[in-house]
Structure 1
């Protein structure tokens, strides 16, 4: 499934609703919580840094749940050490801790941050 969503704070909750519905429909309710947390972090980054809209894709691929968030923003996200006093900056650390694999791919008009979770 692929969705184009506006880059507004309410888009984060809409993305979670869509992911929950898709995974439940696919009989993968046991990975909903992990995927919701990953998608929340990636979509929040897209809303904060990515431009006016973002695309969210979720599919079953080779025995895994594969997801990606595309946004047209210029900056590339990077994993960084968390400042214990900071109120943000841990999103990619969370993604890395939960996903079986993840990464960032530059495109001609933005970037794709992707993840894979094995059910």
Structure 2
């Protein structure tokens, strides 16, 4: 049987699905005001919450070597989803073909592209970080999911 649970009391519109040895999935409703290049005050804690979920999942799966990179990658992808997407945000971690795959669904068919950020810009480097850290990354054909993958060095 698969269970769903609320992440925190402060996040009543979130569901968490943990699948032992397979992966996990989190879906949460964005607050009003996120999108169109902005993240609403009510949504500022989501990247931190999702990092905690990723850390817990990878700890349970005995994959501590992936935690730091996975936390950074999911932070960048979730922040981009909040800033540029619409509707609910979904995060999925799964083990596929010797990789940890991180997928973030943002509810928008607009294809994200790396931006050229100047040294004075506060943002605009997220996809460059994803490209630098992940072993692979891409966007689904319909544009709704941005994904990245980390190689499992000890995979059979």
TM-score, normalised relative to structure 2: 0.70
> Could you list the runs of 5+ residues in structure 1 that have no partner in the other structure?
none
CA separation in 1, counterparts of 2:117 and 2:150? 23
Q: Does 1:3 align with 2:26?
A: yes
Q: Does 1:117 align with 2:140?
A: no
* Contact map agreement 1:9 1:47 (CA 8 A) in 2: no
CA separation in 1, counterparts of 2:135 and 2:109? 26
Q: Does 1:102 align with 2:137?
A: yes
> Could you list the runs of 5+ residues in structure 2 that have no partner in the other structure?
1-23, 31-42
Say which structure is richer in strand: 1
* Cα root mean square deviation, aligned: 1.3
Which one of 97, 115, 118 corresponds to residue 80 of structure 1? 115
Greater length-normalized contact order (CA 8 Å, ≥ 6 residues apart): 1
TM-score, normalised relative to structure 1: 0.91
Instruction: Answer with 63-72 or 45-54: which moved more.
Output: 45-54
Structure 1 stretches of at least 4 aligned residues deviating more than 6 Å after TM superposition: none
Equivalent in the alignment of 2:86: 51
Question: Which protein is bigger by CA-based radius of gyration?
Answer: 2
Cα deviation per residue 1:5-61 (whole Å; 9 max; x = unaligned)? 232222211111111111111111111000000000000011111123200000111
CA separation in 1, counterparts of 2:44 and 2:110? 19
Cα deviation per residue 1:44-101 (whole Å; 9 max; x = unaligned)? 0111111232000001111110110001124321012221221110000000000000
